[in-house]
Amino acid sequence: MKITQAEFVISAAKRDQLPKDALPEIALAGRSNVGKSSLINRMINRRNLARTSSVPGKTQTLNYYRINEAFYFVDLPGYGYAKVSKAQRVQWGKLIEGYLLGREYLKLVLHVVDLRHPPTADDRMMADWLKHFDIPTAVVATKADKISKGRVPSHLKRIRQDLELASDTMLIPFSAETGQGREELWEYIQQSLMP
């Protein structure tokens, strides 16, 4: 995929702020600090279009990035961050659930997990939920640069088992640092965007 244009569009906190131009959307869901924003930046090869941070829980809105005037990456607020109040968690649930269940332009969810570690309870809950509502999902296991190559297959196997992924669910090892998995993920996204 040749990126000719990538721009930040809006940081939406409410449904009526979502774009109205009917472009298809690829949303990123995952634990806070797992590397969602970094993944977007690597996909479009821009260092800092999507705001990243070493402070977890930064993104609390739906952040829209328009790519090639053709589709949006939607950076969702991360889950599983301990230092978040109960009220914020409820707010998160409403926002995410409303979006994932109600957004007609949503084509694919990239469920981002950490390749280094077994999925957390929150990861498993997210995967169950996406499956339950039959939302098209690919799992991206990021930070692959942080483990040795030899350990990758066993970590992928563990993730597939723990998240109880169907055999035809795509699971892609990825690194925002090295660009590993980028081409494979673009292939999959392009297929998902085809009418």
Binding site for ligand GTP (CB under 6 A): 30, 32-38, 52-54, 56-59, 78, 142-143, 145-146, 175-177
User: Which one, of 43, 193, 190, lies nearest residue 112 by Cα?
Assistant: 43
Q: Which is nearer to Mg ion, 37 or 180 (CB)?
A: 37
Tell me if 159 sits within 8 A of 129, measured CB to CB: no
Give the amino acid at 138: A
Q: Is 33 in the site for Mg ion (CB under 5 A)?
A: no
Strand partners, 6: 67
In the bound state with Mg ion, the residue whose beta carbon lies nearer, of 112 and 159, is 112
Q: Is 59 near Mg ion (CB under 5 A)?
A: yes
Q: Does 37 bind Mg ion (CB under 5 A)?
A: yes
Could you tell me which of 112, 127, 194 has the C-alpha nearest to residue 166?
Answer: 127
Closest contact distance (angstroms) between CB of 148 and ligand GTP is 13
- Residue 106 partner contact from Mg ion, ligand GTP, none using kind-dependent CB cut-offs of 5 to 8 Å: none
Question: Which residue number has the CB closest to ligand GTP?
Answer: 78
Measured in whole angstroms, the distance separating CA 44 from the mean position of its chain's CA atoms is 14
For the bound state, the minimum distance from the C-beta of residue 191 to ligand GTP, rounded and expressed in Å, comes to 23
Strand order in the sheet with 25-30: 6-12, 62-67, 71-75, 25-30, 106-114, 137-142, 171-173
Residue with smaller CB distance to ligand GTP, 53 or 154: 53
Residue 20 C-beta: closest distance to ligand GTP, Å: 25
Q: Does residue 142 interact with Mg ion by CB under 5 A?
A: no
Binding residues (CB under 5 A) for Mg ion: these are 37, 59
